[in-house]
Amino acid sequence: MGIPYTVTTRRDTGLNNGKIGIWLFLASEVMLFGALFASYILIRTGAQTWPRGDTVLNVPLATVNTIVLISSSVTMVMAWASLMRHRFETFRIYMGITILCGLAFLVIKFFEYSHHFEEGLYPRSDNFHAIYFTLTGLHGLHVIFGMAVNAWLWGPGSKLWKTNPVWFTNRVENSGLFWHFVDLVWIFLFPTLYLL
């Protein structure tokens, strides 16, 4: 049994189901991270002392990570654009780079985390580290989830290209929207935690 507008767009809304679904999901994600940012503000304004991010965190590493993640957003768009031009092999290259960028981000993050642990700084140490580990940890989970979806689209999921290229392109676009969101969260996290 077919569900209408899975692939095609509905004329009066101009959208397919997946596109609405992913935007609604992102709206809920905004509320999730919004609540955490609000908590950050409340806890920080109520704190007697609060370290400046650059005194306890590694700003150069985070800057590299920001560049890595923004680059991956660019390659994500390129992957989608390749599909729009029916260049499947180019898509695989760009999608592959996107996934590798995600991996690079996580590796750098891993080094940052292990450095904190070596210094004996854990979430329980103080509220700065509590919110730092919670926010970046949750963001890291989002990176892993996005990479998993992208890897599936790069590998087994790409079989759909042969049978229904339009549907596959829509899926890559939706996955891209999520990936851009993950990127955007980091764009907010970086100054909030590392610089302010």
The residue ranges that bind other proteins (CB under 8 A) are 1-5, 7-11, 13-17, 19-21, 24-25, 27-29, 31-36, 39, 42-43, 46-48, 80, 84, 122-127, 130-131, 133-134, 138, 166, 169-170, 173
Q: How far is the CB of 189 from other proteins (least distance, A)?
A: 14
In whole angstroms, give the CA distance from residue 39 to residue 4. Answer: 41
Shortest Cβ distance from residue 104 to other proteins (Å)? 26
Give the shortest CB-85-to-other proteins separation in angstroms: 10
CA distances from 106 to 53, 157, 166 (A): 20, 23, 32
| Distance (Å) of CA 42 to CA 21, 52, 183 | 32, 16, 24
Residue placing its CB nearer to other proteins in the complex, 53 or 176: 176
Q: Which is nearer to other proteins, 19 or 92 (CB)?
A: 19
> Least CB distance from residue 25 to other proteins, whole Å?
6
Residue 19, CA atoms < 13 Å, CB-side half-sphere: 13
Report the residue number, 89 or 124, with the smaller CB distance to other proteins.
Answer: 124
In b/e form, how buried is each residue of 110-136, taking b as 16+ CB within 10 angstroms?
eebeeebeeeebeeeebebbbbbbebb
10 Å CB burial of residue 189 (0-12, 13-18, 19+) is: buried
Nearest approach in angstroms of CB 115 to other proteins is 18
Compare residues 68 and 95 and give the one whose CB is closer to other proteins: 95
- Name the residue nearer to other proteins (CB basis): 35 or 107: 35
